[in-house]
Amino acid sequence: MRLLAAALLGATVLGGAAQAQSADPPIRPDQAEFRGLYKELVETNTTLSAGNCTLAAERMAARLKAAGMRDDQLKVLFTSDHPKEGSLVATYPGTSKKLKPMLLLAHIDVVEANRADWTRDPFTLIEENGYFYARGAADDKSQAAIWTDTLVRFAKSGYKPKRTIKMALTCGEETSGAFNGAEWLANNQRDLIDAAFALNEGGGGRSDGKGKLLVQTIQIGEKAYQDFTLTTTNPGGHSSQPVPDNAIYVMADAIAKIRDYRFPVEFNDTTRAFFTKAGAQRGGETGAAMQALVANPADSAAEAIVNKDKMLHSMLRTTCVATLVDGGHALNALPQTVTANVNCRMFPGRTAEETQAALEREIGNPKVTVEQRVKGKPIAKAPPMDPAIIGPMEQLVAKHFPGVPVIPNMATGATDALYLAAVGIPTYGVPGAWGDPDGNGAHGLNERIGVKSLYAGRDYLFDLVKVLSSK
């Protein structure tokens, strides 16, 4: 979801500084080697339906072993009931016995891709018109490949960091309710991934789509994902004798109430900093309203202006939206059962139980039951805006992308950071690679990432890991 999060910044920062993309330089030898690793990972199908994350994990482990890492530093883990949904945990040792490790996290599973719908084979890496095309080219195999490549380069060069560097490449992030490797590691192998902090997807940059990099973001917190199943039942009957008490009508009324309900405005440290900084850069009516709302969250006039932007509206609150409806059993019969899925993205700190209670209160009809689709998911927790971590990110953006602003961002989507935060590992979405305003086809058709974006992001993240592992 990383490029999508960056793309959603949209017009928020169009008034900010921008960096022009230069002409294509010749590919460096180290970039050519990285391209081979990236290609191998991308072309390993890791969809839930037909793919194999364990195979992808094994292939990345083989790359690290060939670079000089030992077998005891490389662990491919899977459960007997999910043999193809494995993870790789690599441990690159540091010299300090006092510094806690750092963790590099990326998911290697990808969204389904139908060959008939794509212009190109989704599981063949194709470079065309300045882009790499493939499913997972951006989300999230670009980052998984960069993390693996970083450890390969460290091992080959004999780099000795002070802080131990761990890497977890996991499966299951893209499918709610599927076996999730990050969750499993957090709950069953906590010591193996124990770290002072983790670096993850969720940050990144955004271009104007015409060759200029407009902004880099650092994800500091995210919403929690939860689906709720709404159900209404009725004895039904013959359609020739309709009655007002119709299961479809009851469900329609419930969905309409959810549509009309707006959760209250909330701020945390991340969104407060985002609205202040991005509002000043954006300017105009919306920029002024963003800053006014920070000063007074009860300013209804400012909120009305900000709410016109769907991304800003979502950053301010918990949101719930109907996404699926299923009902009835025959064309000529009154419906007996109707279900609907309501997808909620809960503001950090908000629980599924209180969100469920809010839905039930707004629906106000005991004939509609509301149930959590996946129970026991952790509460979203925003990590601290730690200057020891944020500072180097900002300094390296200034070095690699001169003049480009860096803005803290709370993702309105969700990543596996949720599971690490639940066990006390603060997790940050890193700057680096950038996307276009259209989201680069992530989760959709013809997914792509800019060649320059990928290579520049790789250089940035290599330096970032080196800096953060040296102190």
pLDDT digit string, tens, across residues 146-156: 999 999 999 99
Helices H, strands E: what count in the chain? 15, 20
- The pair phi, psi for residue 308, each rounded to 5°, is -70, -20
69, 155 contact by CB (below 8 A): yes
State residue 16's pLDDT score.
43
For the chain, report the end-to-end CA distance as a whole number of angstroms.
Answer: 30
- The pair phi, psi for residue 193, each rounded to 5°, is -110, 10
CB neighbour class for 210 (10 Å; exposed up to 12, middle 13-18, buried from 19): exposed
Q: What tokens were used for 297?
A: 């969250």
Q: Is the pLDDT of residue 11 over 60?
A: no
State residue 15's pLDDT score.
46
pLDDT one-digit tens code per residue, 216-254: 999 999 999 999 999 999 999 999 999 999 999 999 999
Q: Assess whether the previous peptide bond of 140 is cis (omega < 30° from 0).
A: yes
- How large is the average pLDDT for residues 273-297? 96
Task: Indicate the pairing of strand 224-233 with strand 369-372.
Answer: antiparallel
Distance CA 287, CA 303 (A): 12
192, 103 contact by CB (below 8 A): no
464, 199 contact by CB (below 8 A): yes
Q: Is the pLDDT of residue 422 over 80?
A: yes
State residue 25's pLDDT score.
72
How many Å separate Cα 219 from the centre of its chain? 9
User: What are the distances in angstroms from CA 31 to CA 23, 26, 455?
Assistant: 16, 10, 7
Distance CA 188, CA 179 (A): 13
Identify the bridge partners of residue 372 per DSSP, sorted by sequence position: 228
Q: What tokens were used for 96?
A: 């300090």
- Output DSSP code: residue 432: -
In order, the DSSP letters of 370-388 are EEESSTTPPPP-PPP--HH
State residue 23's pLDDT score.
54
Please report where in the chains the tokens 């491919």 appear, as a residue: 76
Amino acid letter, 217:
T
State residue 20's pLDDT score.
46
Distance CA 156, CA 168 (A): 20
CA count, 13 A, side-chain hemisphere, 286: 17
State residue 24's pLDDT score.
65
How many Å separate Cα 49 from the centre of its chain? 21
CB neighbour burial string for 438-454, b if at least 16 within 10 angstroms, e if fewer: ebbbbbeebbbbbbbbb
Distance CA 421, CA 141 (A): 22
State residue 14's pLDDT score.
46
Q: Is the pLDDT of residue 5 over 80?
A: no
Please report where in the chains the tokens 């309409």 appear, as a residue: 256
Q: Average pLDDT, whole number, for the chain?
A: 94
Identify the bridge partners of residue 321 per DSSP, sorted by sequence position: 343
Please report where in the chains the tokens 């493939």 appear, as a residue: 134
Q: Is the pLDDT of residue 297 over 60?
A: yes
Task: Indicate the pairing of strand 204-207 with strand 434-435.
Answer: parallel
Distance CA 299, CA 318 (A): 18
Q: Is the pLDDT of residue 161 over 60?
A: yes
pLDDT one-digit tens code per residue, 23-64: 567 899 999 999 999 999 999 999 999 999 999 999 999 999
